[in-house]
Amino acid sequence: MVSRVIPVDPFDLVIFGATGDLARRKILPGLYRRFLGGQIPDEACLIGAARASLSDDQFRAQIEAAIAEFVDPAKRDPAQIARFLRCVRYVAIDATGEEGWAQLKALVRPDRVQAFYFSVAPTLFGALAERLHKHEIANSEARIVVEKPFGRDLASARALNGTLAAHFDEHQIYRIDHYLGKETVQNLMAVRFANILFEPLWNAQFVDHVQITVAETVGVGGRGAYYDKSGAMRDMVQNHLMQLLCLIAMEPPYHFDPDAVRDEKLKVIRALDPLTSEDIVRGQYVDARGKSYVDDAENPASRTESYIALRCHVANWRWKGTPFYLRTGKKLRARTSEIAVVFKEPPHSIFDDDTGWRENMLVIRLQPNEGMNLKMMIKEPGPGGMRLVQVPLDMSFADALGEEGADMPDAYERLIMDVIRGNQTLFMRGDEVEAAWAWTDPIIAGWEATKARPQRYDAGSSGPEDALMLMHRDARRWREIRE
Ligand code: BG6
Protein backbone atom coordinates (compact mmCIF):
# COMPACT_ATOMS: atom_id res chain seq x y z
CA MET A 1 0.00 0.00 0.00
CA VAL A 2 1.43 3.38 -0.97
CA SER A 3 1.40 6.02 1.72
CA ARG A 4 -0.30 9.21 0.63
CA VAL A 5 1.04 12.12 2.60
CA ILE A 6 -0.25 15.25 0.94
CA PRO A 7 1.84 18.27 1.96
CA VAL A 8 -0.20 21.24 3.10
CA ASP A 9 0.29 24.80 1.86
CA PRO A 10 2.89 26.90 3.66
CA PHE A 11 1.30 28.29 6.80
CA ASP A 12 1.90 30.30 9.93
CA LEU A 13 0.62 28.60 13.07
CA VAL A 14 0.54 30.56 16.30
CA ILE A 15 0.14 28.50 19.44
CA PHE A 16 -1.13 30.53 22.37
CA GLY A 17 -0.32 28.69 25.57
CA ALA A 18 2.78 27.26 23.88
CA THR A 19 4.52 26.49 27.15
CA GLY A 20 1.49 24.63 28.55
CA ASP A 21 0.89 20.95 29.05
CA LEU A 22 -1.20 20.27 25.94
CA ALA A 23 1.36 21.97 23.69
CA ARG A 24 4.17 20.03 25.30
CA ARG A 25 2.49 16.63 25.26
CA LYS A 26 0.47 16.73 22.06
CA ILE A 27 0.66 19.75 19.79
CA LEU A 28 4.43 20.26 19.43
CA PRO A 29 5.46 16.58 19.24
CA GLY A 30 2.57 16.05 16.81
CA LEU A 31 3.78 18.86 14.56
CA TYR A 32 7.27 17.40 14.57
CA ARG A 33 5.90 14.00 13.53
CA ARG A 34 3.99 15.59 10.64
CA PHE A 35 7.12 17.45 9.64
CA LEU A 36 9.02 14.19 9.66
CA GLY A 37 6.24 12.62 7.61
CA GLY A 38 6.85 15.25 4.92
CA GLN A 39 3.58 17.05 5.39
CA ILE A 40 4.84 20.39 6.69
CA PRO A 41 6.77 22.48 4.20
CA ASP A 42 10.04 24.11 5.28
CA GLU A 43 8.54 27.56 4.69
CA ALA A 44 5.92 27.02 7.39
CA CYS A 45 6.38 29.01 10.58
CA LEU A 46 5.41 27.84 14.06
CA ILE A 47 5.15 30.66 16.52
CA GLY A 48 4.90 29.91 20.21
CA ALA A 49 3.16 32.59 22.25
CA ALA A 50 2.83 32.57 26.03
CA ARG A 51 3.32 34.76 29.06
CA ALA A 52 6.84 33.54 29.92
CA SER A 53 9.66 35.63 28.62
CA LEU A 54 11.73 33.26 26.46
CA SER A 55 14.07 33.66 23.53
CA ASP A 56 13.46 31.69 20.32
CA ASP A 57 16.26 29.35 21.34
CA GLN A 58 14.88 28.78 24.82
CA PHE A 59 11.53 27.85 23.31
CA ARG A 60 13.25 25.57 20.79
CA ALA A 61 14.99 23.86 23.70
CA GLN A 62 11.57 23.25 25.29
CA ILE A 63 10.34 21.69 22.06
CA GLU A 64 13.40 19.50 21.86
CA ALA A 65 12.71 18.30 25.40
CA ALA A 66 9.07 17.60 24.48
CA ILE A 67 10.19 15.61 21.44
CA ALA A 68 12.61 13.65 23.61
CA GLU A 69 9.81 12.84 26.04
CA PHE A 70 6.86 12.20 23.75
CA VAL A 71 8.17 11.06 20.37
CA ASP A 72 9.11 7.47 19.67
CA PRO A 73 12.95 7.13 19.85
CA ALA A 74 13.03 5.69 16.33
CA LYS A 75 11.69 9.00 15.05
CA ARG A 76 14.07 11.26 16.89
CA ASP A 77 16.45 12.22 14.12
CA PRO A 78 18.77 15.06 15.21
CA ALA A 79 19.13 16.43 11.67
CA GLN A 80 15.36 16.47 11.18
CA ILE A 81 14.77 18.00 14.60
CA ALA A 82 17.22 20.78 13.77
CA ARG A 83 15.44 21.40 10.45
CA PHE A 84 12.07 21.44 12.20
CA LEU A 85 13.26 23.88 14.84
CA ARG A 86 14.46 26.29 12.19
CA CYS A 87 10.85 27.18 11.49
CA VAL A 88 10.06 27.91 15.15
CA ARG A 89 9.77 31.37 16.71
CA TYR A 90 8.57 32.64 20.08
CA VAL A 91 6.79 35.77 21.30
CA ALA A 92 6.10 36.64 24.93
CA ILE A 93 2.57 37.92 24.95
CA ASP A 94 0.00 39.27 27.35
CA ALA A 95 -3.35 37.84 26.32
CA THR A 96 -5.33 40.48 28.17
CA GLY A 97 -2.92 43.39 27.74
CA GLU A 98 -1.06 44.95 24.84
CA GLU A 99 2.41 43.55 25.33
CA GLY A 100 3.81 41.37 22.55
CA TRP A 101 1.11 41.96 19.95
CA ALA A 102 3.22 44.20 17.74
CA GLN A 103 5.98 41.56 17.69
CA LEU A 104 3.43 38.90 16.78
CA LYS A 105 2.08 41.05 13.97
CA ALA A 106 5.61 41.41 12.59
CA LEU A 107 5.96 37.60 12.45
CA VAL A 108 2.61 36.48 11.04
CA ARG A 109 2.55 36.81 7.28
CA PRO A 110 -0.70 38.20 5.88
CA ASP A 111 -0.56 36.22 2.63
CA ARG A 112 -0.17 32.81 4.29
CA VAL A 113 -2.64 30.28 5.56
CA GLN A 114 -2.94 31.45 9.15
CA ALA A 115 -4.00 29.40 12.15
CA PHE A 116 -4.18 30.51 15.77
CA TYR A 117 -4.41 27.71 18.31
CA PHE A 118 -5.98 28.87 21.59
CA SER A 119 -4.43 26.30 23.93
CA VAL A 120 -5.38 28.44 26.92
CA ALA A 121 -8.19 28.70 29.46
CA PRO A 122 -11.56 29.46 27.80
CA THR A 123 -11.74 32.70 29.79
CA LEU A 124 -8.99 34.01 27.50
CA PHE A 125 -10.64 33.09 24.19
CA GLY A 126 -12.47 36.40 23.94
CA ALA A 127 -9.39 38.51 24.75
CA LEU A 128 -7.29 36.66 22.16
CA ALA A 129 -9.93 36.87 19.44
CA GLU A 130 -10.41 40.57 20.09
CA ARG A 131 -6.68 41.38 19.96
CA LEU A 132 -6.04 39.37 16.82
CA HIS A 133 -8.73 41.45 15.22
CA LYS A 134 -7.79 44.80 16.73
CA HIS A 135 -4.12 44.50 15.79
CA GLU A 136 -5.12 43.34 12.31
CA ILE A 137 -3.02 40.20 12.60
CA ALA A 138 -5.58 37.69 11.36
CA ASN A 139 -6.56 37.78 7.68
CA SER A 140 -10.11 37.11 6.51
CA GLU A 141 -9.52 33.35 6.14
CA ALA A 142 -7.50 32.91 9.35
CA ARG A 143 -8.54 29.90 11.45
CA ILE A 144 -8.80 29.78 15.19
CA VAL A 145 -8.64 26.50 17.06
CA VAL A 146 -10.28 26.15 20.45
CA GLU A 147 -10.08 23.32 22.93
CA LYS A 148 -12.68 21.83 25.17
CA PRO A 149 -14.21 22.52 27.61
CA PHE A 150 -16.37 24.64 25.35
CA GLY A 151 -18.52 26.09 28.10
CA ARG A 152 -19.84 24.26 31.14
CA ASP A 153 -23.50 24.57 30.22
CA LEU A 154 -25.70 25.92 27.44
CA ALA A 155 -25.58 29.52 28.66
CA SER A 156 -21.78 29.66 28.88
CA ALA A 157 -21.33 27.85 25.54
CA ARG A 158 -23.69 30.34 23.90
CA ALA A 159 -21.78 33.23 25.43
CA LEU A 160 -18.50 31.76 24.18
CA ASN A 161 -19.91 31.23 20.69
CA GLY A 162 -21.11 34.85 20.75
CA THR A 163 -17.70 36.14 21.80
CA LEU A 164 -15.89 34.26 19.04
CA ALA A 165 -18.53 35.19 16.46
CA ALA A 166 -17.89 38.86 17.16
CA HIS A 167 -14.48 38.48 15.49
CA PHE A 168 -14.52 35.31 13.38
CA ASP A 169 -17.02 33.61 11.07
CA GLU A 170 -18.18 30.10 11.92
CA HIS A 171 -16.16 28.73 8.96
CA GLN A 172 -13.01 30.04 10.68
CA ILE A 173 -13.70 28.43 14.07
CA TYR A 174 -12.34 24.93 14.73
CA ARG A 175 -13.67 23.45 17.99
CA ILE A 176 -11.52 20.42 18.74
CA ASP A 177 -12.91 17.18 20.05
CA HIS A 178 -9.85 14.99 19.78
CA TYR A 179 -11.99 11.84 19.64
CA LEU A 180 -13.04 12.86 16.14
CA GLY A 181 -9.39 12.75 15.10
CA LYS A 182 -8.96 9.11 16.10
CA GLU A 183 -8.40 6.84 13.14
CA THR A 184 -11.15 4.38 13.96
CA VAL A 185 -13.70 7.08 14.52
CA GLN A 186 -13.28 8.22 10.95
CA ASN A 187 -13.21 4.64 9.82
CA LEU A 188 -16.62 4.26 11.32
CA MET A 189 -17.93 6.60 8.64
CA ALA A 190 -16.01 4.71 5.95
CA VAL A 191 -17.38 1.38 7.13
CA ARG A 192 -20.92 2.66 7.32
CA PHE A 193 -21.04 4.64 4.11
CA ALA A 194 -18.53 2.97 1.78
CA ASN A 195 -19.95 -0.54 2.18
CA ILE A 196 -23.37 -1.85 1.29
CA LEU A 197 -23.16 -4.60 3.92
CA PHE A 198 -24.06 -2.74 7.07
CA GLU A 199 -26.39 0.08 6.17
CA PRO A 200 -29.47 -2.09 5.43
CA LEU A 201 -29.10 -3.62 8.92
CA TRP A 202 -28.25 -0.35 10.66
CA ASN A 203 -31.59 0.35 12.30
CA ALA A 204 -33.94 -0.67 15.09
CA GLN A 205 -35.28 -3.60 13.11
CA PHE A 206 -31.92 -5.37 13.22
CA VAL A 207 -29.86 -3.69 15.92
CA ASP A 208 -30.72 -4.81 19.43
CA HIS A 209 -28.63 -2.17 21.16
CA VAL A 210 -25.38 -0.23 20.99
CA GLN A 211 -22.75 -0.02 23.73
CA ILE A 212 -20.20 2.76 23.84
CA THR A 213 -17.41 2.38 26.40
CA VAL A 214 -14.55 4.72 27.16
CA ALA A 215 -12.74 3.22 30.14
CA GLU A 216 -9.60 4.71 31.62
CA THR A 217 -7.19 3.40 34.22
CA VAL A 218 -5.92 6.82 35.28
CA GLY A 219 -7.50 8.75 38.13
CA VAL A 220 -7.89 12.50 38.32
CA GLY A 221 -4.75 13.10 40.39
CA GLY A 222 -2.97 16.23 39.19
CA ARG A 223 -6.05 17.76 37.60
CA GLY A 224 -8.55 17.26 40.42
CA ALA A 225 -9.37 20.96 40.72
CA TYR A 226 -10.58 21.13 37.10
CA TYR A 227 -12.17 17.71 37.13
CA ASP A 228 -14.15 18.19 40.30
CA LYS A 229 -16.01 21.06 38.67
CA SER A 230 -16.77 18.95 35.61
CA GLY A 231 -17.22 15.27 36.31
CA ALA A 232 -17.55 12.53 33.72
CA MET A 233 -20.71 14.03 32.25
CA ARG A 234 -19.14 17.35 31.31
CA ASP A 235 -15.62 16.03 30.74
CA MET A 236 -16.42 13.02 28.54
CA VAL A 237 -20.10 12.44 27.78
CA GLN A 238 -21.18 15.88 26.57
CA ASN A 239 -18.42 15.82 23.98
CA HIS A 240 -16.51 12.61 23.21
CA LEU A 241 -19.20 10.01 23.86
CA MET A 242 -21.96 12.05 22.28
CA GLN A 243 -19.83 12.54 19.18
CA LEU A 244 -19.35 8.78 18.92
CA LEU A 245 -23.06 8.28 19.38
CA CYS A 246 -23.74 10.76 16.58
CA LEU A 247 -21.47 8.97 14.13
CA ILE A 248 -23.13 5.65 14.88
CA ALA A 249 -26.69 6.94 14.77
CA MET A 250 -26.64 9.61 12.07
CA GLU A 251 -28.31 9.34 8.68
CA PRO A 252 -26.01 9.15 5.65
CA PRO A 253 -24.95 12.72 4.80
CA TYR A 254 -25.48 13.60 1.11
CA HIS A 255 -21.73 14.14 0.78
CA PHE A 256 -18.62 13.84 2.93
CA ASP A 257 -18.64 17.54 3.43
CA PRO A 258 -18.26 19.46 6.72
CA ASP A 259 -21.72 20.90 6.95
CA ALA A 260 -23.48 17.88 5.49
CA VAL A 261 -21.87 15.65 8.15
CA ARG A 262 -22.45 18.10 10.97
CA ASP A 263 -26.08 18.69 9.99
CA GLU A 264 -26.73 14.95 10.39
CA LYS A 265 -24.90 14.78 13.73
CA LEU A 266 -26.90 17.72 15.01
CA LYS A 267 -30.17 15.94 14.14
CA VAL A 268 -29.13 12.98 16.29
CA ILE A 269 -28.42 15.17 19.32
CA ARG A 270 -31.73 16.96 18.88
CA ALA A 271 -33.54 13.64 18.67
CA LEU A 272 -32.23 12.36 22.01
CA ASP A 273 -35.00 11.72 24.50
CA PRO A 274 -34.58 13.39 27.89
CA LEU A 275 -33.21 11.01 30.52
CA THR A 276 -34.80 10.05 33.82
CA SER A 277 -32.91 9.11 36.98
CA GLU A 278 -33.61 5.45 36.09
CA ASP A 279 -31.41 5.82 33.04
CA ILE A 280 -28.25 6.96 34.81
CA VAL A 281 -25.72 5.53 37.25
CA ARG A 282 -22.96 7.72 38.63
CA GLY A 283 -19.92 6.51 40.55
CA GLN A 284 -16.85 7.69 42.42
CA TYR A 285 -13.76 5.49 42.74
CA VAL A 286 -12.46 4.31 46.06
CA ASP A 287 -9.02 2.86 46.33
CA ALA A 288 -8.53 0.64 49.33
CA ARG A 289 -4.76 1.00 49.29
CA GLY A 290 -4.31 4.60 48.40
CA LYS A 291 -6.20 7.60 47.26
CA SER A 292 -9.90 7.80 46.54
CA TYR A 293 -11.54 10.20 44.17
CA VAL A 294 -12.28 12.71 46.92
CA ASP A 295 -8.61 12.76 47.91
CA ASP A 296 -7.50 13.28 44.34
CA ALA A 297 -10.05 16.07 44.01
CA GLU A 298 -9.02 17.47 47.40
CA ASN A 299 -12.68 17.84 48.22
CA PRO A 300 -13.93 15.39 50.89
CA ALA A 301 -17.54 16.45 50.30
CA SER A 302 -17.36 16.09 46.51
CA ARG A 303 -20.47 14.82 44.73
CA THR A 304 -18.78 14.82 41.34
CA GLU A 305 -18.87 11.57 39.36
CA SER A 306 -15.70 9.91 38.09
CA TYR A 307 -17.88 7.29 36.36
CA ILE A 308 -21.14 7.43 34.52
CA ALA A 309 -23.27 4.88 32.72
CA LEU A 310 -26.46 5.82 30.95
CA ARG A 311 -29.13 4.52 28.65
CA CYS A 312 -30.53 6.81 26.01
CA HIS A 313 -32.84 6.68 23.03
CA VAL A 314 -32.64 8.43 19.71
CA ALA A 315 -36.27 9.21 19.00
CA ASN A 316 -36.53 8.89 15.23
CA TRP A 317 -37.74 6.33 12.69
CA ARG A 318 -34.41 4.60 12.37
CA TRP A 319 -33.76 4.02 16.05
CA LYS A 320 -37.15 3.83 17.76
CA GLY A 321 -36.79 1.07 20.37
CA THR A 322 -33.01 0.55 20.18
CA PRO A 323 -31.27 1.70 23.37
CA PHE A 324 -27.79 3.20 23.33
CA TYR A 325 -25.79 2.45 26.48
CA LEU A 326 -22.88 4.77 27.21
CA ARG A 327 -20.32 4.43 29.99
CA THR A 328 -17.08 6.08 30.87
CA GLY A 329 -14.98 6.25 34.00
CA LYS A 330 -11.63 6.75 35.62
CA LYS A 331 -9.62 4.10 37.48
CA LEU A 332 -11.33 1.21 35.79
CA ARG A 333 -9.95 -2.24 35.13
CA ALA A 334 -8.37 -1.43 31.76
CA ARG A 335 -7.88 1.38 29.30
CA THR A 336 -10.15 0.62 26.43
CA SER A 337 -12.49 2.53 24.17
CA GLU A 338 -14.89 0.72 21.92
CA ILE A 339 -18.28 0.78 20.31
CA ALA A 340 -20.25 -2.44 20.05
CA VAL A 341 -23.22 -2.68 17.73
CA VAL A 342 -25.15 -5.73 18.89
CA PHE A 343 -27.51 -7.27 16.36
CA LYS A 344 -30.78 -9.09 16.99
CA GLU A 345 -31.45 -12.78 16.71
CA PRO A 346 -32.37 -14.18 13.33
CA PRO A 347 -36.20 -14.21 13.06
CA HIS A 348 -36.36 -18.00 13.25
CA SER A 349 -33.74 -20.50 14.28
CA ILE A 350 -33.47 -23.73 12.33
CA PHE A 351 -30.97 -25.07 14.89
CA ASP A 352 -31.64 -26.66 18.25
CA ASP A 353 -31.54 -24.43 21.32
CA ASP A 354 -28.39 -26.05 22.67
CA THR A 355 -26.22 -25.46 19.59
CA GLY A 356 -24.56 -22.43 21.16
CA TRP A 357 -26.02 -19.49 19.25
CA ARG A 358 -24.82 -16.01 20.15
CA GLU A 359 -25.62 -12.64 18.69
CA ASN A 360 -23.72 -11.01 15.83
CA MET A 361 -21.79 -8.02 16.94
CA LEU A 362 -19.66 -5.40 15.26
CA VAL A 363 -17.02 -4.12 17.67
CA ILE A 364 -15.19 -0.98 16.70
CA ARG A 365 -12.06 -0.57 18.84
CA LEU A 366 -10.81 2.97 19.22
CA GLN A 367 -7.94 2.11 21.53
CA PRO A 368 -5.79 0.23 22.13
CA ASN A 369 -5.23 -1.99 19.04
CA GLU A 370 -7.44 0.07 16.77
CA GLY A 371 -9.54 -2.02 14.47
CA MET A 372 -12.85 -3.71 13.89
CA ASN A 373 -14.13 -7.09 14.73
CA LEU A 374 -17.28 -8.70 13.40
CA LYS A 375 -18.48 -11.58 15.50
CA MET A 376 -20.13 -14.26 13.36
CA MET A 377 -21.58 -17.69 13.97
CA ILE A 378 -20.15 -20.65 12.08
CA LYS A 379 -20.31 -24.39 12.47
CA GLU A 380 -17.78 -25.70 14.93
CA PRO A 381 -15.37 -27.70 12.76
CA GLY A 382 -15.21 -31.46 13.02
CA PRO A 383 -17.61 -34.34 13.41
CA GLY A 384 -20.31 -34.62 16.02
CA GLY A 385 -23.28 -32.89 14.49
CA MET A 386 -24.21 -29.26 14.24
CA ARG A 387 -22.69 -27.13 16.95
CA LEU A 388 -22.27 -23.43 16.44
CA VAL A 389 -19.33 -21.33 17.49
CA GLN A 390 -18.82 -17.59 17.46
CA VAL A 391 -15.70 -16.48 15.59
CA PRO A 392 -14.32 -13.01 15.08
CA LEU A 393 -13.69 -11.60 11.64
CA ASP A 394 -10.87 -9.54 12.98
CA MET A 395 -9.44 -6.52 11.29
CA SER A 396 -6.78 -4.96 13.41
CA PHE A 397 -5.50 -1.99 11.41
CA ALA A 398 -1.91 -2.69 12.32
CA ASP A 399 -2.20 -6.23 10.86
CA ALA A 400 -4.41 -5.42 7.93
CA LEU A 401 -2.52 -2.36 6.76
CA GLY A 402 1.03 -3.37 7.68
CA GLU A 403 3.47 -0.61 8.58
CA GLU A 404 1.06 2.11 7.61
CA GLY A 405 -1.57 0.76 9.96
CA ALA A 406 0.91 0.68 12.81
CA ASP A 407 2.10 4.20 12.13
CA MET A 408 -1.08 6.20 12.14
CA PRO A 409 -0.97 9.88 13.05
CA ASP A 410 -2.21 10.76 16.47
CA ALA A 411 -5.60 12.53 16.66
CA TYR A 412 -4.05 15.95 17.25
CA GLU A 413 -1.69 15.65 14.30
CA ARG A 414 -4.50 14.84 11.97
CA LEU A 415 -6.77 17.56 13.29
CA ILE A 416 -4.11 20.28 13.09
CA MET A 417 -3.42 19.34 9.48
CA ASP A 418 -7.16 19.55 8.78
CA VAL A 419 -7.16 23.07 10.23
CA ILE A 420 -4.38 24.06 7.84
CA ARG A 421 -6.27 22.49 4.95
CA GLY A 422 -9.41 24.32 5.99
CA ASN A 423 -11.46 21.16 6.47
CA GLN A 424 -13.99 21.42 9.31
CA THR A 425 -15.57 17.96 8.95
CA LEU A 426 -14.00 16.64 12.14
CA PHE A 427 -14.66 19.72 14.24
CA MET A 428 -17.76 20.58 16.22
CA ARG A 429 -19.99 23.33 14.94
CA GLY A 430 -21.33 25.89 17.39
CA ASP A 431 -24.91 24.64 17.16
CA GLU A 432 -23.81 21.05 17.82
CA VAL A 433 -22.05 22.03 21.02
CA GLU A 434 -25.05 24.03 22.16
CA ALA A 435 -27.45 21.16 21.39
CA ALA A 436 -25.26 18.78 23.40
CA TRP A 437 -25.36 21.10 26.40
CA ALA A 438 -29.11 21.56 25.98
CA TRP A 439 -29.45 17.78 26.45
CA THR A 440 -27.04 17.42 29.37
CA ASP A 441 -28.01 20.58 31.28
CA PRO A 442 -31.29 19.26 32.75
CA ILE A 443 -29.60 16.00 33.74
CA ILE A 444 -26.87 17.81 35.64
CA ALA A 445 -29.39 20.25 37.14
CA GLY A 446 -31.36 17.24 38.45
CA TRP A 447 -28.32 15.93 40.34
CA GLU A 448 -27.56 19.33 41.71
CA ALA A 449 -31.13 19.83 42.91
CA THR A 450 -31.32 16.47 44.67
CA LYS A 451 -27.72 16.67 45.91
CA ALA A 452 -27.40 13.10 44.66
CA ARG A 453 -24.24 11.27 45.71
CA PRO A 454 -22.46 9.00 43.25
CA GLN A 455 -22.08 5.36 44.23
CA ARG A 456 -18.67 4.12 45.25
CA TYR A 457 -16.80 1.66 43.09
CA ASP A 458 -13.49 -0.03 43.63
CA ALA A 459 -10.56 1.32 41.69
CA GLY A 460 -9.55 -1.35 39.18
CA SER A 461 -13.09 -2.71 38.84
CA SER A 462 -15.62 -2.36 36.01
CA GLY A 463 -17.56 0.38 37.77
CA PRO A 464 -20.48 0.48 40.22
CA GLU A 465 -22.76 -2.54 40.65
CA ASP A 466 -25.77 -0.51 39.59
CA ALA A 467 -24.23 0.04 36.20
CA LEU A 468 -24.42 -3.72 35.67
CA MET A 469 -28.02 -3.62 36.80
CA LEU A 470 -28.81 -0.87 34.31
CA MET A 471 -28.36 -3.41 31.53
CA HIS A 472 -29.41 -6.41 33.52
CA ARG A 473 -32.88 -4.97 33.95
CA ASP A 474 -33.12 -4.86 30.16
CA ALA A 475 -31.88 -8.47 29.98
CA ARG A 476 -28.58 -7.35 28.45
CA ARG A 477 -24.94 -7.36 29.50
CA TRP A 478 -22.05 -4.95 29.19
CA ARG A 479 -19.05 -6.25 27.38
CA GLU A 480 -16.14 -6.97 29.62
CA ILE A 481 -13.71 -4.10 30.09
CA ARG A 482 -10.34 -5.42 28.99
CA GLU A 483 -7.48 -4.40 26.78
C1 BG6 B 1 -9.99 14.43 27.71
C2 BG6 B 1 -10.53 14.42 29.09
O3 BG6 B 1 -10.79 15.21 26.87
O4 BG6 B 1 -9.95 13.08 27.21
C5 BG6 B 1 -9.70 13.53 30.00
O6 BG6 B 1 -10.54 15.74 29.61
C7 BG6 B 1 -9.56 12.15 29.42
O8 BG6 B 1 -10.28 13.44 31.30
C9 BG6 B 1 -9.11 12.23 27.96
O10 BG6 B 1 -8.62 11.44 30.18
C11 BG6 B 1 -9.15 10.86 27.31
O12 BG6 B 1 -8.56 10.90 26.04
P13 BG6 B 1 -7.88 9.62 25.38
O14 BG6 B 1 -7.55 10.06 23.99
O15 BG6 B 1 -6.69 9.31 26.21
O16 BG6 B 1 -8.91 8.54 25.42
Domains annotated on the chain, with CATH:
11-147 (3.40.50.720), 180-409+429-472 (3.30.360.10)
Q: Does residue 177 contact residue 415 with C-beta atoms inside 8 Å?
A: no
For ligand 1, the distance from its centroid to the CA atom of residue 13, given in whole angstroms, is 24
Residues with CB under 6 A from ligand 1: 148, 178, 216, 235, 337
Number of residues that this document lists for the chain: 483
352 with 234: CB under 8 angstroms?
Answer: no
Ligand 1 centre to CA of 407 (Å) is 21
The residue among 483, 263, 270 whose CA lies nearest residue 366 is 483
Single-letter amino acid code for the residue at 405: G
Cα 236 to middle of ligand 1, angstroms: 7
Q: Taking each helix axis as running N to C, give the angle between helix 242-249 and helix 258-271, from 0 to 180 degrees, rounded to the nearest 10.
A: 100
User: Which residue's alpha carbon is at the smallest distance from atom 10 of ligand 1?
Assistant: 216
The residue whose CA has the least distance to atom 2 of ligand 1 is: 235
Tell me the pLDDT of the chain (483 aa) as tens digits. 445 677 888 999 999 999 999 999 999 999 999 999 999 998 999 999 999 999 999 999 999 999 999 999 999 999 999 999 999 999 999 999 999 999 999 999 999 999 999 999 989 999 999 999 999 999 999 999 999 889 999 999 999 999 999 999 999 999 999 999 998 888 899 999 999 999 999 999 999 999 999 999 999 988 888 999 999 999 999 999 999 999 999 999 999 999 999 999 999 999 999 999 999 999 999 987 778 999 999 999 999 999 999 999 999 999 999 999 999 999 999 999 999 999 999 988 888 877 778 889 999 999 888 889 999 998 888 887 888 889 988 877 666 666 655 567 789 999 999 999 999 999 999 999 999 999 999 999 999 999 889 999 999 999 999 999 999 999 999 999 988
CA-CA distance, 366 to 214, in Å (whole number)?
9
**Ligand 1, atom nearest to 337 Cα:** 16
Which residue has its alpha carbon closest to ligand 1 atom 9?
Answer: 236
Work out which ligand 1 atom sits closest to the CA atom of 235: 6
> What strand order describes the sheet that includes 455-458?
388-396, 371-379, 361-367, 336-343, 207-215, 323-329, 307-313, 280-286, 455-458
Q: Which atom of ligand 1 is nearest to the CA of 366?
A: 16
Whole-number Å distance, alpha carbon 338 to ligand 1 midpoint, is 14
Q: Which residues are annotated as catalytic?
A: 240
